[in-house]
Amino acid sequence: MFIEKIRHVIIVKTAFLNFALTLSATIIRPLIVEQSIVFTYMGIFNSFVLGCVFLFVKKAQPKDWQAMLLVASVMLVLLPIVLVSGGNNSHFSYLFPIIPIFVSLVSNAKYTWITTLIIVVCLLAIYFSSGLLPDYTYENVPQNKTIARTIWLTFSVLFACKFGIEFNRIISTLGNKLSEQAEIDVLTGIHNRRSIMLFLQHAMDEAKLKNTHLSVLMIDLDHFKQINDNYGHLVGDQCLRAAAQCLKQGIRQHTDQAGRYGGEEFIVVIKDANEQKAFEIAQQILLEIAQTSIEIDTINSINVTATIGLCTRSGDNLTSIEHFIELADKVLYLGKESGRNCVIKAAM
């Protein structure tokens, strides 16, 4: 959504720039250079078209096709001008290589290749139609120069396409890595608090809408301070990683999610399951944690246990995530008081 918004801003700004530059050139150019009146008429028409496109994309919601609409409008105003100002020798044809770079920035590789292909076909068509249309610049360019410029332009457009796609690929790989890092807890490799809270909020909205069941498990490792004190923080960290793996394996992969809530406390969100099913998942997790041995050296290993507080609510009984977590937390501490290594359910 964030990327889509940035792309929309680029599209709107480019649409405005197209309009402003065309209008300015239409007004200023006749004052500086001597030119045929045809260009002034074309400039007025083009400014009108580009102005309308700008107003349209500014008002519309961010959508993929807006980039293509902008490209289509630019091609629509650019092609006739290029055709009557010397074809591929026209100064306006220098604008062609910018188009694939723009498309790659605001759209995807598929649209960039399609646009590039259309431009290359246009360049060839312009070359073969030269001589058929009047040249209002009245310049006499030798045929070999026209051929050379057509070849250079074609390669520039292809290079711009490849460059734009590669640049975009690097940016999106970096973006994916960054958002992954922003969602994952560095120590355990499962979701961090921010990410699991977001998941819980979405799951809650969904459960309210469909009136399905939703459960949270608050999981706290038992006597973890003692493990740290007796074996050191590195062994403590190993226990946290092992517990996180047990959570990952214990949940249903496509519906549920596990995250680190903070310190030695974890949270699991279970969607579309009644209390009994959530209780079975919790017990399975409890068993997995208790059965996992953590090596402290080549000979010795330890086992940790956990206590789980379970809260299940149907969609119409859900209030806020804070309240939901508080209910699970309360029964978790009841579990601690009643001897640990158990699952306690909150009253429905």
Active site residues: 264
Site for ligand GTP in 204-223 (CB under 6 A): 220-223
Task: Give least dist CB 155 to ligand GTP, A.
Answer: 56
Tokens of 306: 């956990």
Alpha-carbon distance of 297 to 293, in angstroms, equals 12
Q: Is 237 in the site for ligand GTP (CB under 6 A)?
A: yes
Q: Is 261 in the site for ligand GTP (CB under 6 A)?
A: no
Q: What is the helix (H) or strand (E) element at residue 53, kind and residue range?
A: helix 37-59
Cα angle 101-106-111, degrees, rounded to a multiple of 5: 75
Question: Can you name the residues that pair with 221 across neighbouring β-strands?
Answer: 306
Please say which residue, 99 or 258, places its beta carbon nearer to ligand GTP. 258
Alpha-carbon distance of 295 to 281, in angstroms, equals 26
From candidates 224, 266, 279, 324, binder to ligand GTP by CB under 6 A? 224
Task: Give least dist CB 212 to ligand GTP, A.
Answer: 32
Q: Is 225 in the site for ligand GTP (CB under 6 A)?
A: yes
From candidates 263, 293, 303, 326, binder to ligand GTP by CB under 6 A? 263
Expressed in angstroms, the distance from the first to the final Cα of the chain is 37
Q: Is 187 in the site for ligand GTP (CB under 6 A)?
A: yes
Exposure class string for 200-218: b at 16+ Cβ within 10 A, else e: beebbeebbeeeebbbbbb
Residues in the chain: 348
Residue whose CB is nearest to ligand GTP in the complex, by number: 236
Task: Give least dist CB 224 to ligand GTP, A.
Answer: 3
The dihedrals phi and psi of 132, each to the nearest 5 degrees, come to -80, -25
Q: Is 124 in the site for ligand GTP (CB under 6 A)?
A: no
DSSP 152-171: HHHHHHHHHHHHHHHHHHHH
Please say which residue, 220 or 329, places its beta carbon nearer to ligand GTP. 220
From candidates 110, 233, 241, 323, binder to ligand GTP by CB under 6 A? 233
Task: Give least dist CB 334 to ligand GTP, A.
Answer: 12
Site for ligand GTP in 301-340 (CB under 6 A): 336, 340
Q: Is 228 in the site for ligand GTP (CB under 6 A)?
A: yes
The dihedrals phi and psi of 214, each to the nearest 5 degrees, come to -140, 140
- From 1-9, 111-119, 155-163, 230-238, span contacting ligand GTP (CB under 6 A): 230-238
Task: Give least dist CB 50 to ligand GTP, A.
Answer: 57
In this structure, the number of other CB atoms found within 10 A of the CB of residue 245 comes to 17
Task: Give least dist CB 236 to ligand GTP, A.
Answer: 3
Beta strands in 53-122 (DSSP E): none
Interface with ligand GTP by CB under 6 A: which residues?
187, 220-226, 228, 233, 236-237, 240, 263-264, 336, 340
